Amino acid sequence: MTDSPRGNGRSLRESDPLLADRIVGTPEQQAAARPAVAAGWDEPADIEKAPATIPDLSEVEVPPALKAEIEAHMAKYPNVRSAALPSLEAAQRVHGWCSPEALRQVAAVMRVTPAYLSMLATFYDMLNTEPVGRHYVYVCTSVSCHLRNAQALAEAMKAAKQEGDDVNVREFECLGACDMAPMANVDGRFIGPIDPSEAPEVLAALREGRTPLPGRGLGDEGFRLPWEGES
């Protein structure tokens, strides 16, 4: 990957406002459709911006702990680019989502372009390119769970989410927990089976910083499925 050549790096708007208007519309029209990390299908490029080349570390403030973690990941692999996913995961932990700034920080440390990272962040389901919430509740609604009424659980969870909850409640494809169906993956903890009526409790727990449905999570002390042991 290359840095931009000499003297490049000004935006069209800076140098030729009228032309910018002609090509991408006036600043007002632009503001109406401000692109996100993955500017949508309908979004023009933002001519206000300079091209997103590899940011120089001297221009980017990276939290030291994050920088250290990324560098540790880079050291683990024969090719540093393999560190991209773990590094994005780390950046998401720090920033709450893969924000443009988060990507810039990873890019500066890894010496890759931000686009290289948004290309990845938008491909993988667990990386969020929008601020959807620091906690997550993934309700599995794939075939096996679907057969055990997962849809109802999903609706219940969505309904239980309240204004201001910092939680990403979403349906998710098979989580590899069909034996626990219907189930949810709450911040990495697999909980199931869950009755839709328990949904409010799960979100309340997240809200109040408690462990949702203690003892009901895979890996919890003495966890068992209701029908295990009986025969």
Window 88 to 107, contacts with other proteins (CB under 8 A):
88-89, 100, 103
- Contact between 52 and other proteins per CB under 8 A: yes
Which spans in the chain are helix H? 12-15, 17-24, 27-32, 64-76, 84-95, 100-110, 114-121, 143-146, 150-160, 199-208
Q: Name which of residues 112 to 141 contact other proteins (CB under 8 A).
A: 112-120, 122-127, 138, 141
Grouping H, G, I as helix, E, B as strand and the rest as coil, residue 6 is: coil
- Contact segment (CB under 8 A) with other proteins among 57-65, 152-160, 194-202, 205-213 equals 57-65
Q: Name which of residues 187 to 226 contact other proteins (CB under 8 A).
A: 188-190, 218-219, 225
What does the DSSP assignment read for 132-187?
Answer: --SEEEEEE-SHHHHTTTHHHHHHHHHHH--TT--EEEEEES--S-GGG-S-EEET
Q: Name which of residues 8 to 37 contact other proteins (CB under 8 A).
A: 8, 10-12, 14-16, 19-20, 23-24, 34-37
Separation CA 165–CA 191 (nearest Å): 20
Comparing CB distances to other proteins, the nearer of 6 and 28 is: 6
CB of 37 to other proteins, least distance (A): 5
Q: Name which of residues 160 to 179 contact other proteins (CB under 8 A).
A: 172-179
